[in-house]
Amino acid sequence: QQQVKQSPQSLIVQKGGISIINCAYENTAFDYFPWYQQFPGKGPALLIAIRPDVSEKKEGRFTISFNKSAKQFSLHIMDSQPGDSATYFCAASTTGTASKLTFGTGTRLQVTL
Amino acid sequence: DVKVTQSSRYLVKRTGEKVFLECVQDMDHENMFWYRQDPGLGLRLIYFSYDVKMKEKGDIPEGYSVSREKKERFSLILESASTNQTSMYLCASLDAAQSQPQHFGDGTRLSIL
């Protein structure tokens, strides 16, 4: 049973474009929503995270948009760069922390020149 | 910087063997986790530990066990390896008290022949 549904599975974006990855969840007890970035041969690393008391969080070119009523959250990468090419995972937790995360299935992003 | 070290990057074993995957973290974190990562399935939690000698089953514990005799070391054990356990295994640690993210190792790619 997939508690966090992530789409698309893969994404190709031109350099300078906007990359958008979406996640949806069912469990209304989730209260912490991080995004992890994984480069080939490396473990995932935290990119940005949000809690449900805000609808948007921005860090540089990366923005999380959160829609509590729709139970959806998304990652937007502005001005996408080839160095952003990686696999991105959304996740959710009921503990308010990164403990016991439920991960999405991942999106492989390729940014072309 | 937190360092999570997994003892092997690549491992090849035969069906029926007992397999040990080792993970060591250097930041005195209480919580440690074992995941497996498969294409299209994301990261799935196998077991986690919130203190020495304490463990809890994750979402897919069947066929696995764990050991945590010291705070810095968390071992994943495949009691009798099977081909469907061929996967990438990721270890992570967390200082939940500080609201920090999970810190991942770079993974062990395990092939069971």
Checking if the pLDDT of B78 tops 90, the result is yes
pLDDT number for residue A7: 96
Per residue in B52-70, pLDDT (tens digit) is: 989 999 999 999 999 999 9
pLDDT number for residue A99: 81
Distance, in Å, from the CA atom of B19 to the CA atom of B22, rounded to the nearest integer, reads: 10
Checking if the pLDDT of B92 tops 70, the result is yes
What is each CA distance from B19 to A27, A88, B23, B56, B112, in whole angstroms? 35, 29, 13, 20, 10
Nearest of A81, A98, A80 to residue A89 by alpha carbon: A98
pLDDT number for residue A82: 97
d(CA B12, nearest CA chain A) in Å: 17
Query: B48 and B60 in contact (C-beta within 8 Å)?
Result: no
pLDDT number for residue A100: 82
User: Per-residue confidence of chain A (113 residues) as pLDDT tens digits?
Assistant: 568 999 999 999 999 999 999 999 999 999 999 999 999 999 999 999 999 899 999 999 999 999 999 999 999 999 999 999 999 999 999 877 778 899 999 999 999 99
Distance, in Å, from the CA atom of A85 to the CA atom of B70, rounded to the nearest integer, reads: 37
The answer to whether B106 contacts A42, with C-beta atoms less than 8 Å apart, is yes
Nearest of B85, B103, B89, B76 to residue B22 by alpha carbon: B76
Range B25-29 average pLDDT: 91
Which of B31, B48, B90 comes nearest A43 by C-beta? B90
pLDDT number for residue A110: 98
The answer to whether B102 contacts A6, with C-beta atoms less than 8 Å apart, is no
pLDDT number for residue B95: 85
Dihedral (CA of A77, A82, A84, A87) sign: positive
Contacts B45 to A, Cβ<8 Å: 100-102
